[in-house]
Amino acid sequence: MTPNYPLTNMNTEEKLVWYALVFGYVFYLTGMLYIVGSVLGWALFALFMLRWFVEGKRPGNSALPITIWVWLLGMLMMLIALLIGHSEFSLGMGLTIKSSIGWAKGWALLALFPLLGAMASIRPKVIIRGVCILAAQSIPFILLGLVLAVAGSDGSLYLSPFKAIGGPISSFEVGLFGINPETGRPRWPFFAPWAPAAGLMSCLYLIICVNEQDRFWRRFGILGALVMCLFCQSRAGWAIFILLIPALFLLGQLKKPLLWLLLGTAVSAVCLLGQPLIEGVQTAHQQIKDSRAGSTRVREALATIALQRWESEAPVWGHGVVERGPKMVEHMPIGSHHSWYGLLFVKGFVGLLALAVPLAITIMYLSFDALNSARSRSALMIVLVFTGYSFFENLEVLAYLYWPALIWLGLALNPIKNIELNSRGVTA
């Protein structure tokens, strides 16, 4: 089957999504990817509200389910915690405004994009094909990087002047690859700010690409996701990607009695071999940690500092802002590399609940709906990947990258849109 343009008669919202995806590497190489991802959600929301005002009605299949309301309330609580934290530590109006803008570019997107997926007229096939094309572009990108790495290049290109708008400095560093400081060998972050984030994107892209109906783009999309996972050299990315492969197959067989019979047999075997399996998992986990001992040491130190200072200084509302750590953690931000420790330090126990509650409710809802809906099965895998990666990354910092998965989540949470039309049930 030859590649073909996915849709005709795309509306303005779909065109914005489409171009943001298929030109993802162009935006990255011009230093604009962070801006595009951060602004896109608010631009789509403004366009949706304008269309609603002009036409006087919402799209016929739009809905705002309780799960979306939970995400909206949770991310609003993030803002409230931020404001109270700034007030308690007297951080000043200027820093409060700056942090509020950071909230709009981060945590707010975790509710805004699912809202758009549920309410706006954005068809799933636009997301699927766009992600496949973007993932496939990673193949020539890695080939070019390999050639330059063999030639002795360090892979770095330039630092985008758009860094002046604020945000993680790594989001504005443009390069073909980076150098792993522990091994001295090339490591590819692709269009992500750092290599482990590319591992997250590869897992999300795999989940979405398997739903493509066109065999050409499905194959190259999955291959691109695999290339991203392999060359980013992320331990978490490798582990989760490997687990996704059987999980994507098994979730599609939930209604078959044979699967439950096999699962029951597997559970019995695990119970009989429990101790050896536990010891084997512990040994493998320790080997993974030892493979990059320096990184593991820094992560553990960052977690310890975050917990100690959260508990002793700001247990309820947090400190309000991110702080740089001491020399022992290479001056990395306290609570970084871990969403939960970061939330406790910056937004306290309130911030932790503001993320934990929407995640838990969404997982429970999708777990039930996955029995009847292929799209919900994909969305469940996405939320589980988010949950897994929350122990290795700060989710809000990367929202500008994984926004297609958030729109997909909104599509699945809308019971009107979430109707299976064929065996795959996701391309309507």
Supply φ then ψ for residue 159, to 5 degrees.
-105, 120
Tell me the CA distances in angstroms from 266 to 184, 256, 349, 413, one per residue in order: 42, 16, 38, 31
What confidence score (pLDDT) does residue 303 get? Answer: 77
Strands 156-159 and 186-187: unpaired
Domains in the chain: boundaries:
12-252+296-413
The parts of the chain modelled with pLDDT lower than 50 are: 1-3, 277, 281-282, 284-285, 420-427
- By three-state DSSP, how is residue 123 classified? coil
DSSP track, 232-289: HT-HHHHHHHHHHHHHHHHHTTTT-HHHHHHHHHHHHHHHHTHHHHHHHHHHHHHHHH
pLDDT (tens digit, 9 = 90+) per residue, 334-370? 766 678 888 988 898 999 999 999 999 999 999 888 8
pTM higher than the cut 0.75? yes
Residue at token pair 């993320």: 355
Distance CA 242, CA 69 (A): 33
Tell me the CA distances in angstroms from 297 to 118, 234, 304, 389, one per residue in order: 42, 16, 11, 18
> Residue 245 carries which side chain, given as an amino acid letter?
I
